[in-house]
Amino acid sequence: MRFLLDGFKRVARSHKRSAAAPGPATLSPLQSFGSNPGALQAWYYVPEGLTKAPALVVVLHGCGQNAAGYDQAAGWSKVAEDFGFAVLYPEQIHTNNPKLCFNWFNLGDIRRGQGEVHSIWQMVETMTTEHGINRDRIYITGLSAGGAMANAALCAYPETFAGGAIIAGLPYAVATSVPAAFDRMRGHGIPNEECLQGRLAEASPHIGPWPTISVWHGTSDGTVAQANASAIITQWSRVHDVPLNPSSLKTVDGHKRLAWRDRFGRDAIELYLIERMDHGTPLDVASGYGQIAPYMLDAGISSTLHTARSWGLTPAFRRRPKGIGYVRPTRLPQVTGDLSRTGRKTFKW
């Protein structure tokens, strides 16, 4: 069992487990997904009636939360049902972390081939083989500790993911202990540009292409300092070869969206700054997707919908017709190994 400082109580205090009430019955357990070195649990949702290889969104909850509670509040399975893609929820357990935080500050849990991040990769591989997931359309998102672990997965396995959305999260490999984790959360001791980018470069043998990065952060976040959002952007800027200053700035649903465009004209990195929002996932409850819960905040903008749309999962917001039933592809042998270096073409700068 990993020992944590009492400080984690501060993080989890208002992350009270929305799971106190039973979650929706839409999620199914992923029973077996390899050696599972991080000892995580997993849940998933695959809508009925899918007629082609679906996309997959991996969603990581925050401290004190669980898969069902986060799904109910963020609305991911409801969006998946309406627009036709699969959702995977890795879930932390108490014996790993008493406050149910993903261990983003433990090097043994964020290195490629090790710990929790490798368990997440094994879950993705299992979902891909069992449900015929389109390998070019796999994405990951998470809140707070889940956001930091989502960033870790993007860094450790960049060839697996087409894009990621990090909500109130932190850069990769910036802390190796609980005290250091709290310092980084406060914005203290964040490494410089060269160090941040070096840690991404060292995280995998991958040479590109790289997943798109979406960062969401409340301007009044009192738990994770906004400096971490800037550091995440800095960490990813070199591999995407984007300019120092944002390529565009506009207002979306009353909040600032900054974007950094790569040489292909694509918004490779984006940042949503949610005005006056504290620590949490921004929702637009009026949209019909999501509901208010601890650290799930009605900000008049839905990170779930905007993220899904940016990944091409909700084209023109046209809901799919309901099918007659989803037929799983033939199950392939269980994946337990690691990925090798890809030969895909790299971005050049």
User: Which residues are identified as catalytic?
Assistant: 144
Q: How big is the chain by its Cα radius of gyration, in Å?
A: 18
**Which tokens go with 298?**
């009605």
The number of C-alpha atoms within 13 Å of 230 and in the hemisphere containing its C-beta is: 12
The two beta strands, 41-45 and 86-91, are antiparallel
Distances (CA, A) of 313 to 65, 98, 117, 167, 342: 25, 35, 24, 19, 25
- The contacts of residue 25 (CB under 8 Å, 6+ apart) are none
The C-alpha atoms of residue 326 and residue 46 are separated, in whole angstroms, by 8
Would you say the C-alpha torsion 101, 105, 106, 111 has a positive or negative sign?
A: positive
Q: In what order do the strands lie in the sheet with 86-91?
A: 28-29, 41-45, 86-91, 56-60, 138-143, 163-167, 212-218, 267-274, 255-261, 248-252
Identify residue 206 by its one-letter amino acid code. H
Q: How far apart are CA 48 and CA 37, in angstroms?
A: 31
83, 308 Cβ separation under 8 angstroms: yes
Contacts of 35 (CB under 8 A, 6+ apart): 122, 336
Q: Output the CA–CA distances (angstroms, integers) from residue 229 to 115, 148, 192, in the order listed.
A: 25, 11, 14
Q: What is the distance of C-alpha 240 from the center of its chain?
A: 19
Q: Are 275 and 289 in contact (CB under 8 A)?
A: no
